Amino acid sequence: MANRQKSGQRILIVDDEKNYRIILAQLFTRVGYQVATAASVNECLAFFQHDCADLVLTDVYLAGADGLDLCQEIQLLTGGLPCIVFSACLPATDQRFGAVTGIIEYIAKPFDINELLAKVEQVLLTTV
């Protein structure tokens, strides 16, 4: 995948599983994005007190929290930051996608890296 204008784009990865944070951070850094990570909802919300991102990539099931609710909170803090959620299991009938939550895409775990990169690039191209 070509490095097209990614150097200025920042992705915040939120996952309570350390290995996923590390792997995803390495992947997105390698293709040219700036990356920040958060291990919890509190870390994520604290991040937005002093920093910004162009996209949030978060797990749906975080320790003691709901990633979908987190996306809605991010919308209140940022005024419309796009979110991509990933999970090993998310009911297809979940209706919390859309403008209120900022959730633009859902990716099933385990995910195909090329599919993940393509979805992130597509979201950033159409929303930033």
Question: Can you tell me whether residue 54 is helix, strand or coil?
Answer: coil
Mean pLDDT in consecutive groups of 10 residues from the start of the chain, 128 residues:
62 96 96 96 95 94 87 90 85 58 82 92 87
DSSP assignment of 78-128 = HSS--EEEEES---TT----BTTTTEEEEEESS--HHHHHHHHHHHHHHH-
| φ, ψ for residue 116, nearest 5 deg | -60, -50
What's the CA gap between 9 and 83, in Å, rounded? Answer: 14
- Predicted TM-score (pTM) of the model is 0.88
Cβ atoms of 37 and 13 within 8 Å: the answer is: yes
pLDDT computed for residue 99 by the predictor: 61
Question: What size, in residues, is the chain?
Answer: 128
pLDDT computed for residue 88 by the predictor: 79
Q: Under 8 Å CB-to-CB from 122, ≥6 apart: which residues?
A: none
